[in-house]
Amino acid sequence: MAKVEASAPGKCILFGEHAVVFGQPAVAVAIEQRITVSLELLEEGADEWRIDGMKLIPSKHPHVEALRSRLWQKKAGAPALSIHINGDVPPASGLGSSAALSVAASACLRAARGRWLSEGGEATETKDWAEGFSSQLTDTDVYSKVDEGKDPARRVGANGQGSSHVWGEQAIDVDECALLGHAVEAIAQGGRASPMDSSVCAHGGIVLLSDEVEKGTDWVYTRTLNIPEGDRTWQVHTIPVMTDEQDVYLVIGNSGVHAPTSIQVAKVAAAMSENPQRMREIETIGLIARRGVEALLKGDYEAVGRAMSENHLMLRGLGVSCLELDDLVRAAAPSSLGAKLTGAGGGGCMVALTRNPKQTSEAIELAGGRTLISKIGNAGVRIESHEGLPFWKPSSK
């Protein structure tokens, strides 16, 4: 049977949600919980994609549809596939389930399609690619509308002539998965998405996003996106994970209250335009995030926890917490180093940093939350298994 399976982690925001919309730094970590995507080649002659056993309806699955139009075009000869999605990242709760799905699905499609390289080229060198997307290539524009008559993954110019073909793990480029993940998130969210979720779900570990290059961390790339309000630019960095000798855990508490991110973001935007003085609060969240980053770099988790709790107070002041989240944060406090809401707020999840995960988890559950426990900084996207690759070999010319 021809089959490929890839997984990517969910994420949680440690510092800087909402303030990041105004250009302040924000930090997200990959959690242990993952989304697994598997693709199977359908029997010959099958024409319609299937998802979890049902016919795939593009409008219901905008992420899959946007990836399919970039990497798996029927017009270019790509065969129909069956896709299965599993995992333990709860959907629509601010834990990055849609980004993890997009990143894992792009890894599956690339592994199954393979990649044409120029003659004697290396899969790890983007300059040798005859096809593909990467932030290291200046002509990559995965957000713009796909021209149905043209294979968008095919490159033009000197490196646009395919002569050797690689597939499976060899064909995977994590930056490409992150870039495609960001593009399809933007499409599914009406043109607006930061690269936070897609970067952390692809690269794993800890990711810092800012509108400037932040000293003391490892800068990885600049990401730009044309959103309805104009061009936006983000600097994406990674922070080394210093937890080897430290027994620290994240306990995530889900309030079960549903609050759409767009409403929460609009609420903060309205507060800022009503009273521009309040931009100080946004700047203070930025300062707290920078302090949190310094503490993370030193492996000083007591200070990381303090910064998280301060961040929560600022978010409360902005009006993006709610009674349920405050209850869970309060319940976690006695047994943890720090706790805060994570993500857009108004509902969704909170996160506590703790050396006593069992105790903290029980306290949060007693206060009405459903919990997940995770170590800090987990592996990014990876291929779990494959057989019968490639599913399809696009023509080399």
Binding stretches for ligand PMV (CB under 6 A): 17-18, 20-21, 94, 194, 196, 261, 264-265, 343-344, 348
* In the complex, minimum distance from the CB of residue 359 to ligand PMV, in angstroms, rounded to a whole number: 26
* In the complex, minimum distance from the CB of residue 265 to ligand PMV, in angstroms, rounded to a whole number: 5
What torsion do the CA atoms of 368, 370, 374, 378 make, to the nearest 10 degrees? -130
One-letter amino acid at 361 equals S
Q: Of the two residues 42 and 265, which places its CB atom closer to ligand PMV in the complex?
A: 265
Residue 270: both structure tokens together: 């309205």
CA nearest 221: which of 99, 290, 136? 136
Q: Of the two residues 21 and 271, which places its CB atom closer to ligand PMV in the complex?
A: 21
Largest CA distance in the chain: 64
Which residues of 1-77 form beta strands (DSSP E)?
3-15, 26-41, 50-51, 54-55
Residue 135: both structure tokens together: 């932030």
CA nearest 307: which of 339, 341, 280, 282? 339
CA distance 133 to 157: 14
Residue 85: both structure tokens together: 């999605």
CA distance 110 to 103: 11
Q: Of the two residues 82 and 194, which places its CB atom closer to ligand PMV in the complex?
A: 194
CA nearest 391: which of 36, 91, 7, 42? 42
* In the complex, minimum distance from the CB of residue 231 to ligand PMV, in angstroms, rounded to a whole number: 16
Q: Of the two residues 70 and 267, which places its CB atom closer to ligand PMV in the complex?
A: 267
Q: Of the two residues 12 and 39, which places its CB atom closer to ligand PMV in the complex?
A: 12
E strand or H helix that includes residue 295: helix 279-298
What torsion do the CA atoms of 16, 375, 183, 185 make, to the nearest 10 degrees? -80
* Pairing label, strands 206-210, 164-166: unpaired
| Contact indicator for 117, 124 with CB cutoff of 8 Å | no
* In the complex, minimum distance from the CB of residue 135 to ligand PMV, in angstroms, rounded to a whole number: 19
Q: Of the two residues 25 and 205, which places its CB atom closer to ligand PMV in the complex?
A: 25
* In the complex, minimum distance from the CB of residue 259 to ligand PMV, in angstroms, rounded to a whole number: 9
Residue number, nearest CB to ligand PMV: 343
* In the complex, minimum distance from the CB of residue 312 to ligand PMV, in angstroms, rounded to a whole number: 14
Count of Cβ atoms closer than 10 Å to residue 215 Cβ: 9
| Contact indicator for 93, 348 with CB cutoff of 8 Å | yes
CA distance 10 to 174: 16
| Contact indicator for 305, 332 with CB cutoff of 8 Å | no
* In the complex, minimum distance from the CB of residue 269 to ligand PMV, in angstroms, rounded to a whole number: 11
* In the complex, minimum distance from the CB of residue 66 to ligand PMV, in angstroms, rounded to a whole number: 18
* In the complex, minimum distance from the CB of residue 381 to ligand PMV, in angstroms, rounded to a whole number: 18
3-state secondary structure 174-203: HHHHHHHHHHHHHHHCCCCCCCHHHHHHHH
* In the complex, minimum distance from the CB of residue 91 to ligand PMV, in angstroms, rounded to a whole number: 12
* Pairing label, strands 230-239, 338-342: unpaired
Q: Of the two residues 210 and 264, which places its CB atom closer to ligand PMV in the complex?
A: 264
Q: Of the two residues 261 and 356, which places its CB atom closer to ligand PMV in the complex?
A: 261
* In the complex, minimum distance from the CB of residue 262 to ligand PMV, in angstroms, rounded to a whole number: 9
Q: Of the two residues 21 and 166, which places its CB atom closer to ligand PMV in the complex?
A: 21
Q: Of the two residues 24 and 335, which places its CB atom closer to ligand PMV in the complex?
A: 24
How far is CA 173 from its chain centroid?
15
